[in-house]
Structure 1
Amino acid sequence: MSTQPKTSPKIVLTFFILCLNLFTYGQNQELDSIKTLVETYKKDDTIRVNLLIDFTKYYTSRDINQNLPLIEEAMQISEKIGYKRGSGISLNALSTYYTLKGELDKALENALQAKELLQTINDHNNLIVTNNNLARIYGANKKHNKALEIHLQNVELIKNRPTSPSKAGYYFYVAKTYQELLKLKEAEEYYKTALKISEKADYSTGVAIAQGSLGNLYNILGNYTEAIKFIKLALDFSIKHGQTSNVAASYFTLADSYSRLNNLNAAIENNSKAIEIYESLNNFRMLKEAYIGQYQYFEKLKQYENANKFLKLHYNMVDTLFSENKVKIIEDLQTKYETEKKEAQILSLSQQASIQALEIKQKNQAIVIGLIVVLFFGTALYFIYQQRTLKKERAQSELEQRFLRSQLNPHFIFNALLAIQNFMIKNNAQSAALYLTKFSKLMRQILESSREEFIAVESEIEMLTNYMDIHKLRLKDTFEYKIDVDKNIDVETDTIPPMFVQPFVENAIEHGIINAKDQGLVEIRFYKEKEYISIEIKDNGGGLVRENATPSEHQPLASTIIRERMALFNKNLKDKIQLILNDIENEKGEIMGTKVELKVPFSYV
């Protein structure tokens, strides 16, 4: 029997909230339940542990910081009385806390401990919850194969359980993870199982989710008739329940399905409904996609006036989104600079007042002492002035760096969007779906890296690999590429400035191997050289674009921006970024390609 615990203010607050929740269901009966619960709490520490963990769910959507003291108290009680189940659910609650805080390493560590403990006592109910938590953490870390393994463990644990909405949910998780891994047939199987379970459990929301998911999946698989059938069922549910965003998404997807079946009038009709809703919701991201879709449908019908109208709307939306991002970055930096400037002015005025007070107080002292004092404070003021000047220059340099990165990203995205448009018009649906999946992943990588001054070599290589895979698809495998990383480079901890290599790879593809006589080849090599990571980019194309090139010999804008970024970086770097461009010649002096050597200083994570 455990000793009587001292009631803390947090426990009092917890019971007060419980009373309010229970009171909404009836006064007399629930008051008796509360009294019974309070008596049980006084006598049984295991009840107390479960109450503490239950109330973390209340705070999760209100003030997550309140959870940590409750979890720690539950863990202390569980350890004291040897309550293994309590320790397991406390560790899982702690894992959830760290997941929501974004500290995924700590979240994973606690979830694995919880799983190990719950397995020893065969607590399948809480093991399922912990598994689900683990799978979410692996998914957030982009380890989808590991997440799938955990989700499949849960499916095994619930196979013999009665039909319920929650049971359908676990099949949804498996299907969604298979789709992330582009294992589409497996995803279809699990979506269908989730649909059957939802229908059997009379779970209408689950039925609608499964129908919509199957519709999107059939679009990817190229089975557009089945896609339309399921999307319409999901659309009816969304309209009935007033789910405006889902209604728009269904119309947008239906338009795509009809266009694949060459029913362009139906595609335009459904896409128009989607546009109307997106405009009312000010959903600029989806409006951009809907406008370009409408342009493509009218273009196929050879209604060029309407097509041109929606193409203009699309690019106006693109320009608006990029302009808003640029303005926000510049305004934020300007605000920080003005704040620092005002603080420095206040500091300067304060010091000047101190000097004047000191001069008045010491006016009768000897001239020599007065000169020493004036000299001292004059030196201090000069030092402050120098510091302010340096700070201003650093702020300006950072502003220019971010602005150049924001220039580079729209330039690259514009080229990629044109590539996607051409590919989707000319190629089959399944390849187009793969292309779009790779492009969306590349967009996430670019957006994440554009916020950082340095990124891991591993991230840069992953982004380059995805970028070149997209171009291979677009150019129908007319070139190959190789990426070689020296063993002295730790790809996880060694970091380099982002988006320096990609423009030269772009030039190699667009202006190099496109002129190659044989199969194109792009070779990239990373190796360490003293204080630098050197990157060598080689192609077997037609050689360099010269400085005195004619207007037809395009001078790439991205390379110009990279040179400007190099100049800005080099202002503050001891080891300067170096760039060497050379033609590759054979023994006869014939140009066989281009070699770019880029040397960048590196740092450690």
Structure 2
Amino acid sequence: MSYTDGDYQTALDKFLKIVPYWRQEGNNIKLYDLYSNIGHCYLQLEQWNNAEEYLFKALDLANQLSLEQGKAFVYHNLASLMLNQSKLKEAIGYSKQNLDVLQGMEGTFERKREAHQKAYEIYEASGQLKKAIFHLNRAQEYKDSLMNEAKVKEIQNLQVRHEVYVKDREIEANTLELALLNTRVEQNRKRTLYLIVISILLLFSASLLYFRYLAKKRSNAILSEKNRLISEQRDTIGQMNRQLEKRMLRAQMNPHFIFNSLGSIQHLISTNDKKGALTYLSKFSKLLRQVLESSVNISLVLSEEIELLKIYVELEALRFDHSFSYQFEIDENLDIDAHEVPMLLVQPYIENAIIHGLMPKEGNKELKVSFTDKGDNIECVIEDNGVGLTQTEARKSNRISRGMSITERRIQALKQHSAQQLVKIENLSDKNRSGTRVTILIPKE
């Protein structure tokens, strides 16, 4: 090893400082390098004992590690050390060992030249000129070989430089291509970044729209619920209004019926028919009691309504001295206790049949009232064999029937439950018969 600056002492101090570290690490290769370098420094500083100590330490590690070039380096330094101390015999021995080690190595012309040059110096100092000349010649041969090798190396260096030039051009081309690829990668990265940002914005917008949709849906649900509640309240209010209207109409209907009945009693009393008046009054009180008992209700069970109608017809028969006959027919398929009907809805039509249909007629007078089950409706048919619709209308045109006016309003209220024609009036007058038929459809509530 050579030190171009020649500051061996500084190098020695640095080497000695790092010996403990590599010794602690147990790295023998590093320790060999340090020991051989320390020995060489001591040799150059002419500290022979220290140089010998570290060179032998280095030699011992080189043998352990089988470092052939290391051995040659140490042998060369030991030969120089012994030559400097005039220990020529030892110097010759180390020189031979150095040459023996280098003999089996290829491509070590410079080391071999140095080894033969050192052998020449030793043999010259010992007076063995023949051997000295031999080693001098060998040193010169290796020097020539080194020169040839230098030329070869120069040519090789030129080739290497040419290859490096070519490689540099390739590297430049590759660099340009790499720069282009990097530009494309950067563009792709920016494009990807833009896509990510756009995707995030779209996702954010979609989220906003979705949450707005949910909010609107909740708002619509709340509005729908409010509308439903308002509709329910409207229906309830409408139902209450209808109930109140029915109660009002029924309240108007009862005084009208009672007024007609009291008129009949007055007629019996005026004709001095005390027995008839008492009988009529008894039945009327029964009818009135039943009407009052049901006054809290808008509707009556059909069976109770039929009972009221029967009592009413009996009263009218008493009033007119049983001048007409009557009958009630009930469909056996109709459950009269299962359905409710508006109270005294049919009574004005029966009254019209008696007063305006039968009473003006001479001869046999018949009244028939029937109730039939018609699916969603109860059909009530009031049929008489009176003077017929034409004469009846002519007689009624002279005055306004309060009962019929109220009944028509009650029928209009019932139309909310059915789209059918609820009242149908037919004239039965022909060559063989006369009379009127009134058909009333009462929706089952």
TM-score scaled by structure 1? 0.36
TM-score scaled by structure 2? 0.49
State the structure with more CA Rg.
Answer: 2
